[in-house]
Amino acid sequence: MKTTFATIGDILNGKECPLPLDIIPNSLGISLCAVDAISWTKQADGQLVNLNIHFKPEQLKEQNQAPIANKFDEYLRTNYFCGGNLKTRKNPRIDLMFNCEDFWFADPDNIVPVFVNVLSEHSKKDCLISNSGAYYGSTARKIPEILSQLIQSEIIKNSLADVNEIVSHLTNISTPQGTLLFQCEGCNHIRVKTTTKSQSIRL
């Protein structure tokens, strides 16, 4: 007995196959794109003993079925939660949105020294609090609340009018999560995420 293996490409290029290819889509209802090869075994007298259709794995489907953990990681990277509200003389409500990956899992039960440095663009001496940091003796969960209060006081002190002025005014903020990046998101939202990581205080 002799076994022969032929890919769909081989068959389309003229290699003999005991199964006409049009039977696969027309009679079996299977797309030829899903078929990798066909193999068969014949006896010495030419009688067909068996015939096998080899399918391609559905790579795209497997990629889409990512583990739940990977999907959750992606959710944390791309989603934000409202950690506080700001207001200016032009805008009565600006939502301060914190990246979930950087802030959502700050340990609410772990009492840590929360050091927050906020420097303005004008002068490192003219900063919201000193370069050595401010000790709040609070939980890491309080960082969004603390930042909201500090930025609001900076808005009042410098008469900042809108999200663009707020974001351009704050050039460097460091917290236990790391150095923060502020981004405008429309006229009513400011997004906050980390650019460099600091000590980990997540669960």
How far is residue 34 from each of residues 55, 60, 110, measured CA to CA in Å? 6, 12, 54
Sheet holding 170-175, edge to edge: 80-86, 94-99, 189-197, 178-185, 170-175, 117-120
For the beta carbon of residue 126, count every other beta carbon within 10 angstroms.
11
Q: What is the mean pLDDT of residues 120-143?
A: 44
Mean pLDDT of the chain: 75
Q: How many CB atoms lie under 10 A from the CB of residue 159?
A: 9
Per cent of the chain over pLDDT 90 is 17
Distances (CA, A) of 46 to 3, 11, 50, 177: 11, 19, 12, 74
pLDDT at 61: 52
- The predicted pLDDT at position 67 comes to 64
- What's the rounded Cα separation, in Å, for the pair 125 and 190? 25
Is the pLDDT score of 124 beyond 90? no
pLDDT confidence of residue 128? 37
What's the pLDDT score for residue 57?
Answer: 72
Q: Report the percent of the chain where pLDDT is more than 70.
A: 69
Residues paired with residue 164 on neighbouring β-strands, in sequence order: none
d(CA 116, CA 108): 17
At 25 the pLDDT is: 83
Dig out the tokens for 189 from the structure: 């939202």
Q: pLDDT, tens digit, for every residue of 46-99?
A: 898 999 999 887 655 555 555 666 777 777 788 888 888 999 999 999 999 988
Domain ranges within the chain, ordered by starting residue = 2-61, 78-197
Task: Name 43's bridge partners.
Answer: none
In this prediction, residue 136 has a pLDDT band, given cuts at 50, 70 and 90, of very low
Tell me the H-state helices in 35-142: 59-64, 68-78, 100-103
Which of 23-32, 76-85, 106-115, 175-184 bottoms out in mean pLDDT, i.e. has the lowest? 106-115
